[in-house]
Amino acid sequence: MRPPDHAISIDLEVPFHDVDAMKIVWHGHYLKYVELARTALLRSRGLDVDSVVAGGYAMMVTESRCRHSYPLRYGDKFRVIAWCAETHNRIRIKYEIRNLTENRRSARGHTVLVTTDLDGNMQYETPAFILTALQD
């Protein structure tokens, strides 16, 4: 599945501290990269942490998945693309990581966020102000 037109993207370069002895990115760092893209996506919709908390809520990741298909190596330039795929009861954000140096997809995946009140109680529906911000 190709990312939709409303997706956002961030461009990065693999730093030395993210690679192993073979100069390949350790698999756990991919979640860090999607975290950066998720933050950019939510901020682009006016949903930074402070604004969500000011509305009386918090968001928590309940699921993450990453399927690797081509390695990122030290110095590679890459793009992380993020978009909302589901919003009503939970927020599912999908990702694609493209190795720009090799012109190949390196990974794809998703995270699922739920909304909680400030005491940590999960909400059964995404609050209206968050839904409005996430509409395309």
pTM: 0.93
CA nearest to 53, candidates 107, 110, 131, 127: 127
pLDDT 10s digits, 88-130:
899 999 999 999 999 999 999 999 999 999 999 999 999 999 9
State the pairing for strand pair 91-99/77-86. Answer: antiparallel
| Extents of the domains making up the chain | 8-134
pLDDT value, residue 1: 67
With 90 as the cut, is the pLDDT of residue 68 above it?
Answer: yes
Residue 18 has which token pair?
A: 């993210």
* Architecture, CATH, for domain 8-134: Roll (3.10)
